[in-house]
Amino acid sequence: MYGDLGNKLVQYAKRTQSLGFLPPYQTETVRGVTREVRDLDKDIAQRLEPFGGSFNPQADQATACTLLVNHLSIRRNKRCLLAYHKSRTDKLEELAWKGFDVVDLAGQQVASGNAGSNLGSADGGSSSLSPQEEDYIRQYSDLLAAYKGQWTDIDLTGSLEPPRDLFIDVRALKDAGEIQTEYGAITLTKNSQFYVRQGDVERLIAQGYLQKLG
């Protein structure tokens, strides 16, 4: 029946609401729903054609009813599509605020996308974001960066927990190259350990390059 595909999308969105990552974009289902909308629209146009723009619902109730059913199905599909995409953009914004890097995100998604592919039909694409979503999150991150840039002494996306120590022990989980700190440069190679100032490496911990010890 019309609207079933849309329902599937919303159920999918609902299931993934509590996940920490974004599952792959449901390209096929979204395409299916939009196709349904186009078919319905075509059907409506066809039905109205013989009336030449002077359709009187009172005179032909059966047609009026069919048109209404088609119209409602289109509206329902639209709502399902919008809700699905909104649930995803909300998640993306949340991730952006948590300090995930966009490029990072796309790469990370591949790994988690494969692990979670039993959740839905993974399309086997390289990223679990649709091209539009990638564009969206890139621009959103730019906006966020510009917004944060107004206050140089406060990191808006920083941790709300007051630090217990200024310096902490960290271990590098991946190679991250050289980073500059107030006390000179350190080179992060995999599995090496450092005693560094927490403020310097907070972002790297959030991004998963470093692990806090102790």
Partner 1 sequence: MSYYDLDVILTDSEKVPCKFELEVPDLGYLDNNPSQPLKAGTSVNLPLWLAELLALTHQSSTPFLTLSLPPALGDNVLNALKADPRAVPLRDQSQNFYGLGARMLDLFEEPELGVVLRRSFVVRAGEVALHGRKAGATGDAGSAEDFMRGLEEWEKKLYRQAHEGAKGHKEWMDGVKK
Residues that bind partner 1 (CB under 8 A): 1, 3, 7, 10-11, 13-14, 17, 57-58, 61-62, 64-66, 68-69, 72-73, 76, 79-80, 82-83, 86-87
Nearer to partner 1, 83 or 176 (CB): 83
Nearer to partner 1, 7 or 112 (CB): 7
Give the Cα separation of 78 and 118 in Å (integer): 27
Report which secondary-structure segment, H or E, holds 1: none
Phi-psi region of 53 (alpha: psi -120 to 50; beta: other; left: phi over 0): left
Q: Which amino acid does the sequence have at 101?
A: D
Q: Which amino acid does the sequence have at 135?
A: D
Give the Cα separation of 174 and 93 in Å (integer): 26
Q: Which strands form 193-197's sheet, in the order they lie side by side?
A: 193-197, 167-172, 210-212
Q: Pick from 197, 193, 199: which is nearest to 210 by CA?
A: 193
Min CB(73)–partner 1 separation in Å: 7
Q: Angle CA(157)–CA(137)–CA(8) in degrees, nearest 5? A: 115
Nearer to partner 1, 3 or 99 (CB): 3
Nearer to partner 1, 73 or 127 (CB): 73
Report which secondary-structure segment, H or E, holds 187: strand 184-188
Nearer to partner 1, 68 or 115 (CB): 68
Min CB(58)–partner 1 separation in Å: 6
Min CB(209)–partner 1 separation in Å: 28
Min CB(18)–partner 1 separation in Å: 9
Min CB(71)–partner 1 separation in Å: 9
